[in-house]
Amino acid sequence: MQETVPLLQVEQVCKSFGTNQVASEVSFSMTKGEIGCLLGPSGCGKTTLLRVIAGFEAIDKGQVQIAGKIVSAPNLSVPPEKRSIGMVFQDYALFPHLTAIQNIAFGIRSKSVRLRKEKVKTMLELVGMADAANKYPHELSGGQQQRVALARALAPEPELLLLDEPFSNLDSLLRDRLTVEVRDILKELGITALMVTHNQHEAFSVADKIGVLFYGTMQQWGNAYDVYHRPASLEVATFVGDGVLVTGRVTGPGQIESGLGLLKGNLSLPCESGCEVDLLVRPEDVLHVENAQVQAKVVHKSFRGPNILYQLELSSGEQCQALVSSHHNHTIGEYIGIFPEVDNLVVFPR
Ligand code: ADP
Ligand code: MG
């Protein structure tokens, strides 16, 4: 296989259930060893897309290629077991009557006994479960079961690993730890993986590329920096990270009049003078400066240890948030000076 052939290529895939279009012209691709993450609200079509790639759902239009080979097209569907994929699901799905070792060995039962033994041992060690080899699923915690499920999916050495919300049944501390661990394991093996989540922190910590899905449409496919700082649409802007939209009007080159005052700077403007815009304002881009010209009223505050997240009301009646060092402890109803980091604001035409 040439380096230039993507390991996974999804091209203009459309999929409907009756009149419900769940994937609409979805395109993206992943190179070998890349970790991708499909992010989006519940019901936006993440699981369906994963099932399409796995070969459990036929498609209406477009195609899917794995390692340069077409596996899905409107009149073609290579069965799941012939796609060289591994899968890990949300609900563990281990065989309850098999031990950890037996579960892992299941997917490689066609291999010789010696090979199987070696592989299972390596996999158990890789996921840190060597001590639990002979335990049954019910004797394992949720996190341990997910480790075994991962080992089982990896044992046959798939080209592509698909994970559907693998950590969503775990508590958040364990989830954070496992996310990082799993990323390390996948990187160590150089495996290409596509994971589904509705949790953006998980997506940020695990993925090289994030795909944001809304109503079956891929809004953006890019790295975490771009998705966060250069959102391709209003949907992405408001779904990813904290931030609010404040209205404004372009009044000149690089200049916008808004509830945050007259904003001048290195703003890339989507339209001419006079047009109305929406500004994505993230809390970390609103600085608190005591004597700033713009004063805003504290309407809510949430103490977060190092910072306080202030909910502020602007003179326009709109609201924004400011993430401020918690040494600046203001009270609700008080007016505080704010100064927006103009160059970081993202401007959308209305
Ligand atoms: P997500 O994983 O993002 O929560 P899903 O892919 O599970 O979203 O579902 C997307 C939409 O497709 C939902 O409206 C869901 O009801 C619908 N859907 C999923 N699977 C089926 C199916 N087998 N038959 C009919 N509708 C389905
Ligand atoms: Mg789902």
pLDDT 10s digits, 79-134? 999 999 999 987 768 999 999 999 999 989 888 889 889 999 999 998 888 899 99
| Global pTM exceeds 0.85 | yes
The CATH code that applies to domain 242-349 is: 2.40.50.140
CA distances from 259 to 269, 296, 337 (A): 17, 10, 13
What pLDDT does residue 33 have? 96
Ligand 1 atom closest to Cα of residue 42? 4
Ligand 1 atom closest to Cα of residue 50? 6
Residue 69 reports pLDDT greater than 70: yes
Atom 13 (ligand 1) nearest CA: 43
What pLDDT does residue 272 have? 87
Mean pLDDT of 273-282: 94
CB-CB neighbours of 103 under 10 Å: 23
Nearest ligand to the CA atom of 45: 1
Name the strand (E) or helix (H) holding 250: strand 244-252
CA dihedral 149, 154, 155, 157 (to 10 degrees): 160
Confidence band of 3 (pLDDT split at 50, 70, 90): low
Rounded distance between C-alpha atoms, residue 287 and residue 221, angstroms: 30
Domain residue limits, the chain:
8-238, 242-349
CB-CB neighbours of 297 under 10 Å: 16
Rounded distance between C-alpha atoms, residue 25 and residue 280, angstroms: 27
Check pocket membership of 216 for ligand 1, CB cut-off 6 A: no
pLDDT 10s digits, 190-227? 999 999 998 899 999 999 999 999 999 999 999 999 99
Ligand 1: which of 15, 21, 22, 50 to mutate, most ligand atoms within 8 Å of CB?
A: 22
Domain 8-238 has CATH 3.40.630.30: no
Distance 177 CA to ligand 1 centre (A): 29
pLDDT above 90 coverage of the chain, percent = 79
Check pocket membership of 20 for ligand 1, CB cut-off 6 A: yes
Side chain identity, residue 278: D
8-238 and 242-349 share one fold? no
Distance 222 CA to ligand 2 centre (A): 21
What pLDDT does residue 110 have? 86
Ligand 1: which of 13, 14, 19, 20 to mutate, most ligand atoms within 8 Å of CB?
A: 20
Rounded distance between C-alpha atoms, residue 273 and residue 253, angstroms: 7
What pLDDT does residue 173 have? 81
Mean pLDDT of 291-309: 96
pLDDT 10s digits, 51-68? 999 999 999 999 999 999
Mean pLDDT of 235-240: 93
Nearest ligand to the CA atom of 40: 1
Q: Residues lining ligand 2 (ion), CB within 5 A?
A: 46-47
Check pocket membership of 43 for ligand 1, CB cut-off 6 A: yes
